[in-house]
Amino acid sequence: MRLVKRYFGLLFGGSLVLALAAGLLLAQVEQGSYEPSTLGRIQQSPPVALSDDSVYQVSAYPLYPPELAEGAGRAETEGFCSLCHSTRYITMQPPLPAATWEAEVTKMRKTFGAPIPDPSAALIIKYLQAHYTPDTRK
C-alpha cells in the first residue's frame, strides 16, 4: 500500500483522494512519460563518391569548436593555439593549477616550437589561469 501512495504522490502532488479514484493499475507502473527531443543532434557522416580507382577516401573530419570562456586573451588563445590543434585540448582538461597552465604554454613554445611572441604568451597564460584552474573554472 505504501507503493501506491508513493506513486500517486508523484503523479498528483499528494492527493490521495484522486489516487484512490484512479484505481490500482496505475499504482503498479508509471506509464507514458515522454519528453520533446531534438532530432539530428548527431549528424550522419555524408557518403563519399567512390569509384574502382586506386584512391581510398573518407569525408572531411568534422570540427566541433568549443565555446571558450569570455575574457581578455581569448582571441590570442584561439588564434595561436589553433595553429596546431583545436581548442578542445583546453576545454577537455580538468581544472589545472596556474603553474601547470604556464608550463603547458611554455611546452608548446619551447618543446613544440609554437611561434608565440612573448607578450602574446603572457596573455594566453593569464587567460588560461583566469578561467581554467580549480578556483576559476566554471
| Shortest CB 16 distance to other proteins, Å | 22
For other proteins, the closer of residues 16 and 88 by Cβ is 88
Write the CB contacts of 116 (distance below 8 Å, at least 6 apart in sequence): 80, 105, 108, 109, 124
Angle between helices 74-81 and 118-131 (to 10 degrees): 110
Which of 17, 51, 111, 119: binder of other proteins (CB under 8 A)?
111
Amino acid at 66: P
Residues 6+ apart with CB under 8 A from 28: none
Nearer to other proteins, 39 or 58 (CB): 58
Residue 104: closest CA among 85, 119, 124, 78: 124
Contact set for other proteins, span 14-73 (CB under 8 A): 42-45, 48, 53-65
Binding letters toward other proteins, positions 70-109, x by CB under 8 A = -------------xxxx-xx-xxxxxx---x---x-----
Q: Contact positions toward other proteins, by CB under 8 A?
A: 42-45, 48, 53-65, 83-86, 88-89, 91-96, 100, 104, 111-114, 134, 137
